[in-house]
Amino acid sequence: MGLLRYRTADGRLRFWTLKEIIQGKSIQRVTHPVFVVFPIAFASGALLLDVLSRFALPGAPLAASYAMLGAVGGAFFSIITGLVDRSVMRPGSKIRSVATRHMIIQLTATAIFVVDLAVRWSDRKMAKADPLWLVLDAVGLLTVLLGGDVGASMVFRMGYRVQETGPDPAATAPMPGAATAASGSDESI
């Protein structure tokens, strides 16, 4: 499989669509989960650095401001990949309803991150984080974690995009020399 094109089952050459590339089909990976870690990690880092600045850690508010910028940037890629995933869900379905709830919560978290960044940016070189920054950090982080839990429920409770193309035969094949599982068992998957 190529990054831009592939052969269909009947041997024709086909180019991946932009939508398929964003979804990660050209690399056989789901892309949305790759990007969701960035807003969570950067927002967590911003909160930690802002707390540490209250205990006189030099440069922490500046570093926290750049971490919040990373959270906003990571959220952008999470939003794009998430919207593409949602666009292929059947309107009116339960999974789309949950995805919409997830989207609303995550867009709210992103809005909080943007407000946090805007409020702090001009004073990012202060010696200590403003208490408002701490509040925005905490509320934004809690919101993105809540949205992440809703997103995780789509995968772990509802099975959305779990092995959508079936298991990879190489991943489920027994290791050379290993005993094989009893016939009919799914334990190797």
Where in the chain are the domains?
19-163
At residue 28 the predicted structure's pLDDT band, cuts being 50, 70 and 90, is confident
Q: What is the pLDDT of residues 132-176, one digit of tens each?
A: 999 999 999 999 999 999 999 998 898 887 555 433 444 344 555
Q: Do the beta carbons of residue 51 and residue 134 sit within 8 Å?
A: yes
Instruction: Give the pTM.
Output: 0.77
Q: Provide the CB-side half-sphere exposure for 170 (13 A, CA).
A: 0
Q: What is the pLDDT of residues 34-46, one digit of tens each?
A: 899 999 999 999 9
Average of pLDDT values for 172-186? 45
Q: Is 6 exposed, middle or buried (0-12, 13-18, 19+ CB in 10 A)?
A: middle
Q: What are the Cα distances from residue 186, in Å, to 155, 162, 176?
A: 19, 15, 18
Helices (H), ranges, the chain: 18-23, 32-53, 60-87, 94-121, 131-156, 169-172
- What average pLDDT does the chain have? 85
Average of pLDDT values for 95-110? 96
